[in-house]
Chains A and B, each alone.
Chain A
């Protein structure tokens, strides 16, 4: 089956000549959660805005459910719900009215039962007659989600849903996203919180400076690029490395009390066994050993730095 969203070689150049997207290609599969990771100004929001029709691509094509987002924009947009980054809501409106408005705007006939279901799902039912300005920040975000879901979209874009949100609410948000996935909604979320991608995404895409650097299943990514660190704590500190250990690429840390060895878990031979042997042969006495797995964050920082070095 064709991907739910097919983005082919999309470029976006703004009026001032700034190239926000430099030929992005990306397929988003039906029912998956894709996290788009990138630093501020990487092009995440531009990409989402382009898919949703808020800005128009300068070149390239985007298909949503097989419908071109420019030529067949009505059918393409009907399938898409967008939760923007900023809390853009009319403060004097009531929750129920703004959600109903959104449904109508997307051409769907009134359906009170469905709206009630969404509001209950998002714990907004009790607040349905409240004015937006009376709600807390977290509740306002839920209203944005309710608006985006009001027309039964098959694809939901969440633009930094948890930016500036406290830990508890962030977990709530993750629960909501997991629930939506169970209902079969395809979800694309942008974030610069790595832990968010790690926690909920099926696949992770990294975008920086208007280019997709990689898109991969989260687990594959973590294993493929996952590096481990071995910390060797010594009984006595060393000033310099003994000769046998010179070409092992060891790093001395904590005033010579710790040796750090970085290795790739994907390799057949990690070299740990021979390293330990050589350390003891060199007359160093081990106090403790510790290994740590690289997080997605380290992978991400590594990728972005590489791109910057190459530029």
Chain B
């Protein structure tokens, strides 16, 4: 294992993040505040509690998930796509490292950034609503696993993308709808039966539900299923990355 190389990639990627720390920090704070103003104060005041939790608090886990997923994907996909785009990838390919080490460096950094943003949003939320976290350990586990798996997914997108449009394509066309329809802002039980059934095909539902369970002890799907879903997604991404590594797909001619 070339730990020096993993560290070098990680530090280099994190430096990019810290260079724009103000943006990295301020933008999630502002967008979270906006969500609270719109959903929490304006709309939420007309909604009673959802399953015994105030609407403002109810949306917090979904809000964190929403940002963490999109941030993890965009950080990881950009992190590996940018060297491909400007040509510095030659250095990664000629270095005495294997693909796993490259993945650990880039995905590790992307997941760290996403985790940071998740924590910032959690902190901002606490300013607006009363939050109790029933199961902090499970909360942390879900958060870290989501950061990791979606960073892995973002990494795959970054490898696959041949241009900037493609880089945006999957997050925009697939992830954003899935996340919005994944019960971030509502409980699945509030939907008509048909849509409830359809929702259970949306993998994000399981993640948001599990994450929300760690806060309030209430969930749309059993917690075990949520855990299984996130593990399955992580394994799927790892498998894809292993295949990319084996075949050199889109990386090494």
Contacts and interface: CB of A to CB of B under 8 A. Distances in A.
Given A101-B8, A104-B5, A104-B8, A90 B96 contact: no
B15 A88 contact: no
A158 interface: no
B230 interface: no
B87 interface: yes
B95 interface: yes
Given A86-B87, A88-B86, A107 B96 contact: yes
Contacts of A73: 96
B91 interface: yes
Contacts of B87: 84, 86, 88
B90 A105 contact: no
Contact of B93 (A14, A53, A107): A53
A78 B94 CA distance: 9
Interface residues of B, number: 26
A76 B2 CA distance: 14
B49 to A, nearest CB: 48
A106 B90 contact: no
Interface string A76-87: 111010101010
Contacts of A54: 90, 93-94, 252
Interface of B is mostly: helix
B90 A88 contact: yes
B96 A84 contact: no
B248 interface: yes
Interface string B1-19: 0101101110110010001
Contact of A15 (B15, B82, B95, B253): B253
Contacts of B95: 77, 105-107
B234 to A, nearest CB: 26
Interface string A54-81: 1110000000000000000111111010
A37 interface: no
A105 B92 contact: yes
B81 to A, nearest CB: 13
Nearest to A102: B91
A105 B248 contact: no
A249 interface: no
B2 A107 contact: yes
A78 B5 CA distance: 12
Question: Which bracket fits the contact residues of A?
Answer: 20 to 34
A28 interface: no
A78 B2 CA distance: 11
Contact of A56 (B82, B88, B248): B248
B94 to A, nearest CB: 4
A15 B247 CA distance: 13
**Residue among B83, B86, B92, B95 with most chain A CB within 10 A:** B95
A54 B253 CA distance: 8
Contacts of B4: 104-109
A55 B82 CA distance: 19
B41 interface: no
A54 B7 CA distance: 22
A15 B83 CA distance: 23
A75 B86 contact: no
A105 B97 contact: yes
Interface string A14-38: 1100000000000000000000000
Given A86-B87, A88-B88, A147-B91, A105 B5 contact: yes
Contact of B96 (A74, A86, A97, A100): A74
A78 B4 CA distance: 13
A128 to B, nearest CB: 15
A147 B11 CA distance: 17
B90 A82 contact: yes
Nearest to A76: B96
A41 to B, nearest CB: 16
Nearest to A103: B8
Interface string A84-123: 1010111110000100111111111100000000000000
A4 interface: no
Contacts of A47: none
Given A14-B253, A107-B2, 14 more contacts: A55-B253, A74-B96, A74-B97, A80-B94, A82-B90, A88-B90, A90-B83, A91-B86, A101-B11, A104-B8, A105-B9, A105-B97, A106-B5, A107-B4
Give 7 closest A-B pairs by Cβ, nearest first: A104-B8, A88-B87, A74-B96, A52-B94, A77-B96, A105-B95, A54-B93
